[in-house]
Structure 1
Amino acid sequence: MTELRTNSAHRLTQYAHGGGCACKIPPGELESMVAGLHGSTGGELIVGLDDGDDAAAVRLDGGSAVISTADFFTPVVDDAYDWGRIAAANALSDVYAMGGRPVVAVNLLCWPRELLPVELAGEVLRGGMDVGRQAACPVAGGHSVDDPEPKYGMAVTGVGSPDTLLRNDSGRAGLPLSLTKPLGIGVLNTRHKATGEVFPQAVAAMTELNAGAADAAVRAGIGCATDVTGFGLLGHLLKLVRASGVSAHLDPAAVSYLDGSREALRDGFVSGGTKRNLDWVRPHADLSAISEDEALLLADAQTSGGLLLAGEVPGAPVIGELAPREEHLITVR
């Protein structure tokens, strides 16, 4: 399932201090940073900063909502075109995680123009454009800056119905928890950065759009969801249960992983972001039933991961359920 990297003299991951969503500011630090910014200044804001949801949503006249998000990060793979595809899919995911449909995107590009050829930047943008085309979302221009570290992503605008938005604060005790993509992206990407090995299964997972999962969730009447990215499954689940005022019971045996994930963990390819995720969640979780390695996999920093749904959709394993608020917000058993 792996192959040796044979292309390009430029390994993009070597120009970045971190990779993909693992380069996010740690969740605890981020919460402190935005602590004084909570609350809406206008009556039309449906979803804002209060619960750290995936995107903002504003109600428009006529019964629709505009969904707005931005997401960008450092290279997660060495192939420029694949990085562009991954970053675009990840940015679009925030709209899908709200139950919306992306309608336009603009590029966000930071490029070390004296270190890396502009032709590589063109490949990154081409990857993003192709994913936008796949999503039927026009990519129209954007913004670029000269930066010592390459970064790429998109600002995306979407639309949805205020009545069917997927939110992280609408979970209810008794609802099942489903996950639409396997975990393990983080440890495989960390191995790729260190060794140059290419993992097609990870690239395929990261470039898969969450459009179908979002559509299935809305059609099933699900109202609570989030996507699993840089804070890992445990981190994003913690945000969901806190926002919803419930707890969660998680069955680790039901969680699926990409081929090679456990071997990458065994060989020590764990990002700093994953370790910080686990440190943040640990005070709020009962992890006594699992090993430290299993906990690290559940906290693994994902890039363009799947949707975590409070409900069931075809093809997504049920990995736990929401419960009334308990001492531990997450119990793994």
Structure 2
Amino acid sequence: MRFAAEYVLPLRWEHDRDLPELTHYLTSLSAVIDVTVVDGSPSALFAAHAAAWGDRVRHLAPTVTTGANGKARGVLSGLAVARHELVVLADDDVRHTRATLAAVVAELEGADVVVPQNVFRPLPWHARWDTARSLVNRAVAADYPGTYGVRRSALRRTGGYDADALFENLEMERTVRAGGGRVRVCRDLFVARRPPTARHFRSQRVRQAYDSLAQPRRFAVELALAPALLALRRRPAGLLAVLVLSVLLAEHGRRRDRGAGIFPRTSALWAPAWLAERAVTSWVALGLRLRGGVSYAGRRVVRAAAPLRELRRARPCRAPEI
């Protein structure tokens, strides 16, 4: 069965080390779903991608050129030309199967945005570290994956979303909510994701902390971590209690919505490492915000994501039409 849906992949590569593997993946996808790759890579790489994929994949350059967030520009460009109402958005490191595509498409029958749960496969040390962040997110609300299901009409009604926002996933979700759309969080819809390199993982630490600026209460808690840990440095029992609580919180996230069968049993034990990281990087992120924003893809981005109340007041959206 072929899905009546579109798979949109925004891409910008500076090298082609992973091209054979991605080509194999896209070829398998094209047998069951229409695939569009919006490719902002340099011209030589763009040409190599076109040659590798041929007519199995619709391969386009971005048409939305304004906005600091290249991924958002790619998503909006892909949505503008999507051949179907139901769209599966996915980063280049996401690896859907026929089963996960079917689940996302089925969930879109009753929603405008579907939010699956990514899981890293394989699991090097830095992917285990970042998994702890996902588990904490699952415990308190939901994680923010690299793949979404979207009804094209939901974003057409809002005119798209702001491509200047750093936390573009949250910006898209909030924009759809502001337009009266339905967002369905599926914490038990697990989609594999290839981990980044250790070097790329390190480069993401402050940027991910900067995303929390879009959630002021969460950011306030994260800013409080460093003072709290410093205050407890001479109270080993108190410090141990905080670290144990972080593990218990992550373990709750691991067990929530069938996660215990997916995430390894040791996953929650990495929560103290992530907690210590965020205690430092949240203050770095605040400093960058006070100095005019965070550097992202060679540009400086100020806003993480707009508040929902602001998006509701600002309708219709000022973002590029799709």
Same fold, judged at TM 0.5 (above): no
- Kindly indicate whether structure 1 or structure 2 has the higher relative contact order, using CA contacts under 8 Å at least 6 residues apart: 1
- Whichever structure has more helix as a proportion of its residues is 2
- Whichever structure has more strand as a proportion of its residues is 1
Instruction: State which structure, 1 or 2, has the greater radius of gyration over its C-alpha atoms.
Output: 2
